Amino acid sequence: MIKVIRTTDYAEMSRRGADLLAAQVLQKPNCVLGLATGSTPEGMYSLLVEKYQRGELDFSQVSSVNLDEYYGLSSDNDQSYRYFMNYHLFDHINIDKAKTHVPNGLAADADAECAAYDALVDELGGVDLQVLGIGNNGHIGFNEPDEVFTAATHVVELEESTIQANSRFFEDISQVPTKALTTGMRTIMQAKRVLLLAGASKKDIVDKALNGPITPQVPASLLQLHPNLTVIIAEN
């Protein structure tokens, strides 16, 4: 089932997203959250922090697995996704950091790190609620357009357009890593529920992903086959 929620703007999109995520934590206090980075979920994370500060949420038993990490960036690099998660969410709530997981961007053996990450997700029993943003080219996590869908966590070469899009967060485009470690389609598709957030600039790619052909050239199109997908779109 695909449920599309059209919201007026970014603030309402974030509020609806935060409400769904909060409901998941209340329903199953020891749930496994699949988390995403990027500018899209920032507003949702700050609303979750507010809910926590008001005493409405308890994250003490929650585990999290993030979708991806830049290859070559350490966790204390302010452009790493581990840093992003700490900064926007984990440092402000009572989640046990030992239960928060982000692929290690400095792993000497990246393939072994990917295999270990999949084993970890299995050990946790899979993801209860997977949060996703979407790239302009239809990527989810860092699953870039390709000839095939890749099931397992893997090392990916970032597309020029992705490097370009993400360079806005870096001082200089030359500093944007060219590779990343990303959860594959299996973890995403096996999540019990998926929540895709999309701002107004993503309307066309979301339309293509949800209504166009299912193709690895638009990785998010595979979500059409997910049994429990909620898409929250900001119209403006």
User: Is 68 assigned a catalytic role?
Assistant: yes
In the list 7, 14, 40, 100, the residue contacting ligand GLP (rule: CB under 6 A) is 40
* Structure token pair of residue 106: 């400095």
In the list 13, 35, 36, 93, the residue contacting ligand GLP (rule: CB under 6 A) is 36
| Residue 187 makes contact with ligand GLP by CB under 6 A | no
Residues 76-115 touching ligand GLP, rule: CB under 6 A, are none
Q: Shortest gap between Cβ of 190 and ligand GLP (angstroms)? A: 18
Q: Nearer Cβ to ligand GLP, position 44 or 62? A: 44
Residues 115-154 touching ligand GLP, rule: CB under 6 A, are 133-135, 141-142
Q: Is 152 exposed, middle or buried (0-12, 13-18, 19+ CB in 10 A)?
A: middle
In the list 80, 166, 183, 187, the residue contacting ligand GLP (rule: CB under 6 A) is 166
Stretch that binds ligand GLP, among 32-40, 44-52, 72-80, 111-119 (CB under 6 A): 32-40
C-alpha 201: how far from its chain's center?
18
Q: Shortest gap between Cβ of 164 and ligand GLP (angstroms)? A: 11
Active site residues: 68, 137, 139, 144
